[in-house]
């Protein structure tokens, strides 16, 4: 911590010291600290997975820390929960507002404010009046009788802020509040934030947009790998410094990357647009045996590109596969053309937990294990057994249900499924997310093996060392397009991060 | 006026049907016919009030017909055993509330899907009752049992008063009491409701318990209409009530709906059958036409919901 608060300063709104939190053995927060003053906008920044949301969840009482100290307005908090933190004046506004779409604006605003009232009846007239006053007090204009479900995102956020003001929030937590707002709406929001600050509200502001932070925030706390790295005055730093603070770490793990002489072009994309999911002007190509990394912030378009290529959110643009121009309209078509896709959210889109390992593995290639349309279970078991051995899946047998496996082994089952279709091109979306260290390096080893066997691999990862360590070339996403492609030699963490945050890099 | 568009549309349809009956038929608008029609639909109306609450939370209860049958028999057995009719009614209501609570507890705290829980209850209760009664009706009831010993007219007026009172209580309760608003909040966005500190489990439990209570009470009210109680009453009650709620404009996934809409839904579906008979349409068409009305109502729901989504995404 670089910041020292003097004794004469006003009492801290929040004093968090060395908070830790682990999920299933994975340390989400190693040492989270934060000093929040009343009447300041305090930005919280860090890469994806640096621990920002874990830290804020501890403050709102949504989760309990494993260890560490938390004080809110000088009061030591041991057993926190959402009700307790709310009673201390903490209010949170998330990217996706927590509203009741079927209820009116007035009710959305006033319902939480009436929780402490003992009355069992509802006074609609005073509700409407109060909602109107609160909305006006923040300089907005929304009819309190409208149904909340008909409001725009920006209007919903205004409702959330009005709620927080009504609850006399003294600590306001804003998580990426501008992510879905237009420029004009953003300006309005900033004016509102500044006004709240002048009224003494302490604001924690989480954002990936560094420009926003530098203009809005008074102080900035940087998190990296679950640790608070620095707390600095916004006027003392610039973007470059912040990026350095966010990424400045050594590559801890050693990556097993071996160079493969790349073959012919396996996939080529030219000027791909998909306005439905926010993609535009995407061009790149990947050769056989090459690992093409995709870096960028969450929501910058990497997963959207993968889903577009795989035909989940199809477009009519043609892409060139092994020299043939085709369009991919559905996942079935993608599979038929030798594309494999390991999706990001393993539990939601990947492994089917109730099914056996063998059934999971053969799911995308049932024709290979069927005879005249009937499933040959002996063949299925033997195919699965082959992958169990070659991918070193740690399970008693191939008829074990996938849900019984560890995260790392589930991921290997998901990988096996796509290998079973013998793809020429494999898209891996966050293949090591939430996987333990041991399985992680095994999965890295497997990815290298795929490339050696001539597969073209597209690797999406939010973990910079992983992209840098595994890829031959790296495409960097920002705002729905690939803004730059770097070779393995020229890519550094700073460069990739700057590009991901939308800054030009001097060559 | 847009907020009450559904209620107005249903009301207009009812008026249309009534106008058709008034101009082309004779005998529909007699006191006897109307009071018969009303009495036959009192249970549907009362149970629909509870069903509205359940559907507002995004749940469903298909066991009401079976609960109704059990509570009818309970009323008769208790009265035959010499208990005063009012005590028999109280017992039937308590039995209904207990059965509803059982469903509610499984849905709320065990997080079991309500369609499965109440499907199981529906079958188990109905067949349990069939086995217990061997299909026999309850007869030999005391003289004071039928219509509480009241005349037909006074009994009908009493039913009207009770039905009207219940409707008013539910309208006011849903609109002006926090418990009622908590039902809307739970159905609209359960996660957000929990963040507010609303005990959504208790809300879910309560709506099932209330519906059970109403089902028992209405079964008792209905049982006293005759001097014999069939062991297979209430068949199809779940369909009639769910249909009435849906026609009344409630979203089947929860969060929006009104008591006024439900009441109008009960009226429309209640008159459509007899209306067809009076209009000379074969009775075989009755259910098909009811089905079409439900389909039309739900389609309008889905379409307006779809339009709203598009607006909020713009």
Please, what are the domains in chain B?
2-313 (1.10.3470)
Give the total residue count for chain A: 507
- Judged by CB atoms closer than 8 Å, whether chains meet at A102 and B184 is answered as yes
Question: Comparing C-alpha atoms, which of B248, B291, B271 is closest to residue B21?
Answer: B271
Q: Can you state the percent helix, strand and coil of chain A, rounding each to 5?
A: 35, 25, 40
- Judged by CB atoms closer than 8 Å, whether chains meet at B185 and A149 is answered as no
Beta bridge partners of A222: A45, A230
User: Is residue B256 left, alpha or beta, with left meaning phi > 0 and alpha meaning psi from -120 to 50?
Assistant: beta
- Judged by CB atoms closer than 8 Å, whether chains meet at A122 and B308 is answered as no
- Judged by CB atoms closer than 8 Å, whether chains meet at A99 and B184 is answered as no
- Judged by CB atoms closer than 8 Å, whether chains meet at B189 and A107 is answered as no
> What pLDDT does residue A300 have?
87
Report the mean per-residue pLDDT for chain A.
85
Q: Can you state the percent helix, strand and coil of chain B, rounding each to 5?
A: 75, 0, 25
> What pLDDT does residue A471 have?
93
User: Is residue A330 left, alpha or beta, with left meaning phi > 0 and alpha meaning psi from -120 to 50?
Assistant: beta
Per-residue pLDDT at A437 exceeds 70: no
Number of A to B CB contacts under 8 A, please give it. Answer: 63
Give the total residue count for chain B: 314
- Judged by CB atoms closer than 8 Å, whether chains meet at B187 and A115 is answered as no
The proportion of chain A whose per-residue pLDDT surpasses 70, expressed as a percent, equals 93
- Contact yes or no for A427/A13 (Cβ under 8 A): no
For B227-243, the DSSP string reads SSB-TTTTTTHHHHHHH
> What pLDDT does residue A407 have?
76
CATH class, domain A14-247, is: alpha beta
For A181-190, the pLDDT digits (tens) are 777 788 888 9
Segment A126-143 shows an average pLDDT of 90
Q: Angle between the B200-223 and B64-80 helix axes, to the nearest 10 degrees? A: 50
For A55-111, the pLDDT digits (tens) are 998 998 888 999 999 999 988 988 888 888 888 999 988 766 788 999 999 999 998
In this structure, what token pair is assigned to residue A436?
Answer: 């333990």
> What pLDDT does residue B313 have?
39
pLDDT bucket at A507, cuts 50 / 70 / 90 = very low
CA-to-CA separations, A208 to A242, A297, A359, B311, in angstroms, rounded: 11, 8, 41, 28
CATH of domain A251-338+423-507: 3.40.50.300
For B183-198, the pLDDT digits (tens) are 999 999 998 888 777 8
- Contact yes or no for A294/A474 (Cβ under 8 A): yes
What ipTM was estimated for this complex?
Answer: 0.83
> What pLDDT does residue B259 have?
97
Per domain, the residue ranges of chain A are 14-247, 251-338+423-507, 355-421
> What pLDDT does residue A2 have?
43
Interface test with A, best of B181, B258, B309 (most A CBs within 10 A): B181
The proportion of chain B whose per-residue pLDDT surpasses 90, expressed as a percent, equals 71
> What pLDDT does residue B215 have?
98
The residue with greater pLDDT, B286 or A292, is A292
> What pLDDT does residue A371 have?
81
User: Which of A83, A124, A150 comes nearest B311 by C-beta?
Assistant: A150
- Judged by CB atoms closer than 8 Å, whether chains meet at B256 and A112 is answered as no
Segment A243-269 shows an average pLDDT of 75
For B129-148, the pLDDT digits (tens) are 999 989 889 888 888 888 88
Q: HSE-up of B114 (CA within 13 Å, CB side)?
A: 25
The residue with greater pLDDT, B36 or A139, is B36
CA-to-CA separations, A202 to A43, A92, A205, B59, in angstroms, rounded: 11, 12, 10, 41
Whether the CA torsion B42, B44, B45, B47 is positive or negative: it is: positive
For A448-505, the pLDDT digits (tens) are 988 988 899 999 988 888 898 899 999 999 989 999 999 988 888 888 988 988 876 5
> What pLDDT does residue A505 have?
57
- Judged by CB atoms closer than 8 Å, whether chains meet at B178 and A114 is answered as yes
| DSSP annotation of A354 | T
Instruction: Give the whole-angstrom CA distance, residue B85 versus residue A441.
Output: 77
Query: Strand order in A67-72's β-sheet?
Result: A75-76, A67-72, A14-23, A26-36, A227-233, A219-224, A41-45, A202-206, A171-175, A90-93
Q: Which residues of B touch A (CB under 8 A)?
A: 175-181, 184-185, 187-189, 191-193, 195-197, 251, 255-256, 308, 311-312, 314
**Is some CB atom of chain B closer than 8 A to the CB atom of A112?**
yes
Bridge-based pairing of strands A67-72 and A75-76 is antiparallel
Buried b (16+ CB within 10 A) or exposed e, B213-232: bbbbbbbbbbbbbeeebbbe
For B241-291, the pLDDT digits (tens) are 999 999 999 988 899 999 999 999 999 999 998 888 888 888 788 888 888
Beta bridge partners of A71: A15, A76
pLDDT bucket at B311, cuts 50 / 70 / 90 = very low
The residue with greater pLDDT, A441 or B182, is B182
- Judged by CB atoms closer than 8 Å, whether chains meet at B185 and A111 is answered as yes
CA-to-CA separations, A474 to A294, A424, A470, A490, B93, in angstroms, rounded: 6, 19, 10, 10, 70
Q: Which chain B residue lies closest to A108 (C-alpha atoms)?
A: B185
Interface test with A, best of B3, B178, B256 (most A CBs within 10 A): B178
CA-to-CA separations, A390 to A368, A394, A403, A450, B256, in angstroms, rounded: 18, 11, 20, 12, 54
Per-residue pLDDT at A159 exceeds 80: yes
For B143-181, the pLDDT digits (tens) are 888 888 889 999 999 999 999 999 999 999 999 998 999
- Judged by CB atoms closer than 8 Å, whether chains meet at A107 and B181 is answered as yes
In this structure, what token pair is assigned to residue A138?
Answer: 């923040």
Segment B99-127 shows an average pLDDT of 96
> What pLDDT does residue A10 have?
63
- Mean pLDDT is lowest, of A246-255, A383-392, B139-148, for A246-255
Interface test with B, best of A122, A148, A164, A275 (most B CBs within 10 A): A122
Question: Comparing C-alpha atoms, which of A18, A32, A28 is closest to residue A49?
Answer: A28
For B202-227, the pLDDT digits (tens) are 999 999 999 999 999 999 999 999 88
- β strands within A307-416, DSSP E: 319-321, 324-326, 339-342, 370-371, 374-375
Q: Looking at CA atoms only, how far is residue B232 from chain A in angstroms?
A: 39
Within 8 A of A151 by CB-CB distance, chain B residues are 312
**Is some CB atom of chain B closer than 8 A to the CB atom of A375?**
no
- Contact yes or no for A281/A269 (Cβ under 8 A): no
CA-to-CA separations, A102 to A36, A155, A180, A395, B50, in angstroms, rounded: 36, 15, 21, 47, 20
Most confident of A86-90, A220-224, A341-345, B62-66: B62-66
pLDDT bucket at A263, cuts 50 / 70 / 90 = confident
- Judged by CB atoms closer than 8 Å, whether chains meet at A103 and B178 is answered as no
> What pLDDT does residue A82 have?
80
> What pLDDT does residue B185 have?
93
Segment A19-31 shows an average pLDDT of 82
Segment A364-380 shows an average pLDDT of 82
pLDDT bucket at B293, cuts 50 / 70 / 90 = confident
User: Which of A103, A112, A124 comes nearest B188 by C-beta?
Assistant: A103
> What pLDDT does residue B96 have?
98
For B39-53, the pLDDT digits (tens) are 999 999 999 999 999
> What pLDDT does residue A504 have?
66
């Amino acid at each position: 911590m670089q910041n020292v608060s003097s004794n004469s300063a006003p009492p801290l709104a929040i004093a968090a010291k060395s908070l830790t939190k682990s999920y299933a053995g994975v340390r989400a927060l190693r040492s989270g600290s934060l000093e929040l003053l009343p009447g300041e906008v305090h930005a919280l920044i860090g890469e994806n997975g640096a621990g920002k949301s874990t830290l804020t969840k501890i403050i709102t009482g949504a989760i309990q820390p494993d260890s560490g100290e938390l004080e809110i307005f000088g009061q030591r908090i041991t057993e926190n929960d959402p009700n307790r933190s709310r009673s201390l004046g903490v209010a949170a506004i998330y990217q996706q507002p927590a509203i009741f779409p079927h209820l009116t604006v007035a009710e959305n605003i006033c319902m939480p404010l009436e929780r402490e009232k003992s009355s069992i009846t509802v006074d609609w007239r005073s509700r409407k009046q109060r909602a109107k006053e609160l909305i006006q007090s923040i300089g907005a204009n929304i009819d309190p009788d409208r149904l909340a479900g008909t409001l725009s995102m920006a209007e919903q956020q205004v409702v959330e802020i009005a709620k927080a003001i009504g609850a006399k929030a003294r600590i306001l937590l804003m998580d990426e509040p501008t992510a879905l707002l237009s420029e004009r709406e953003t300006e309005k929001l900033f004016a509102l934030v500044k006004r709240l600050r002048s009224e003494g509200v302490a604001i924690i502001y989480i954002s990936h947009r560094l420009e926003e932070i530098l203009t809005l925030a008074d102080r900035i706390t940087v998190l990296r790998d679950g640790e608070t790295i620095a707390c600095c005055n916004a006027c003392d730093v610039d973007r470059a410094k912040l990026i350095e603070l966010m990424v400045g770490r050594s590559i801890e793990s050693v990556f097993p990357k071996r160079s493969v002489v790349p073959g012919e072009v396996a996939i080529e994309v030219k000027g791909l647009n998909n306005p439905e999911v926010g993609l535009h002007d995407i061009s790149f190509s990947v050769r056989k045996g090459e690992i093409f990394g995709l870096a960028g912030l969450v929501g910058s378009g990497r997963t959207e590109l993968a889903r577009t290529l795989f035909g989940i959110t199809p477009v009519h643009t043609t892409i060139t596969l092994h020299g043939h121009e085709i369009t991919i309209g559905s996942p079935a078509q993608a599979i038929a053309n030798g594309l494999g896709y390991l999706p990001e959210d393993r539990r939601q889109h990947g492994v089917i937990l109730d099914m056996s390992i063998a059934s999971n593995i053969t799911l995308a290639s049932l024709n290979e294990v069927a005879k005249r349309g009937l499933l040959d279970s002996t063949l299925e078991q033997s195919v699965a057994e082959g992958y169990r051995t070659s991918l070193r899946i740690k399970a008693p047998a191939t008829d074990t249900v996938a849900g019984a496996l560890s995260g790392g082994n589930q991921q290997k089952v998901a990988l096996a499924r796509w290998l079973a279709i013998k793809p020429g091109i494999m898209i891996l979306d966050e293949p090591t997310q939430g996987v333990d260290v041991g399985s992680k390096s095994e999965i890295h080893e497997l990815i290298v093996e795929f490339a050696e066997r001539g597969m073209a691999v597209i690797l999406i990862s939010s973990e910079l060392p992983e992209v840098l360590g595994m890829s031959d070339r790296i495409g960097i996403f920002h705002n729905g397009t690939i803004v730059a492609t770097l070779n393995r030699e020229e890519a550094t963490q700073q460069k990739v991060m700057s590009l991901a945050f939308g800054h030009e890099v001097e060559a | 006026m847009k907020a009450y568009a559904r209620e107005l549309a249903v009301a207009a349809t009812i008026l249309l049907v009534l106008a058709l009956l008034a101009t082309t038929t004779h005998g529909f608008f007699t006191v006897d016919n109307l009071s018969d029609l009303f009495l036959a639909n009192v249970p549907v109306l009362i149970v629909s009030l509870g069903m509205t609450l359940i559907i507002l939370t995004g749940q469903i209860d298909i066991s009401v017909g079976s609960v109704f049958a059990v509570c009818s028999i309970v009323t008769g057995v208790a009265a035959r055993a010499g208990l005063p009719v009012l005590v028999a009614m109280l017992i039937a209501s308590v039995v209904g509330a207990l059965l509803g609570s059982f469903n509610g507890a499984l849905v709320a705290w065990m997080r079991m899907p309500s369609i499965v829980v109440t499907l199981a209850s529906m079958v188990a209760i109905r067949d349990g009752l069939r086995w217990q009664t061997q299909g026999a009706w309850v007869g030999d009831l005391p003289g004071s049992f039928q219509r509480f010993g009241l005349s037909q007219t006074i009994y009908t007026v009493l039913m009207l008063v009770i039905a009207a009172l219940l409707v008013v209580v539910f309208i006011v309760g849903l609109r002006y009491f926090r418990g009622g608003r908590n039902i809307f909040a739970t159905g609209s966005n359960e996660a957000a409701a929990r963040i507010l500190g609303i005990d959504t489990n208790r809300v879910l439990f309560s709506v099932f318990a209330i519906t059970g209570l109403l089902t028992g009470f209405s079964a008792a009210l209905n049982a006293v209409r005759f001097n014999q109680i069939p062991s297979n009453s209430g068949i199809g009650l779940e369909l009639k009530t769910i249909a009435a709620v849906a026609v009344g404009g409630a979203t089947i996934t929860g969060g929006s709906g009104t008591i006024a809409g439900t009441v109008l839904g009960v009226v429309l579906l209640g008159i459509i059958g007899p209306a067809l008979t009076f209009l000379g349409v074969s009775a075989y068409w009755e259910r098909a036409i009811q089905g079409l009305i439900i389909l039309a109502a739900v389609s309008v729901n889905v379409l307006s919901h779809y339009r709203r989504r598009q607006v909020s995404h713009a």
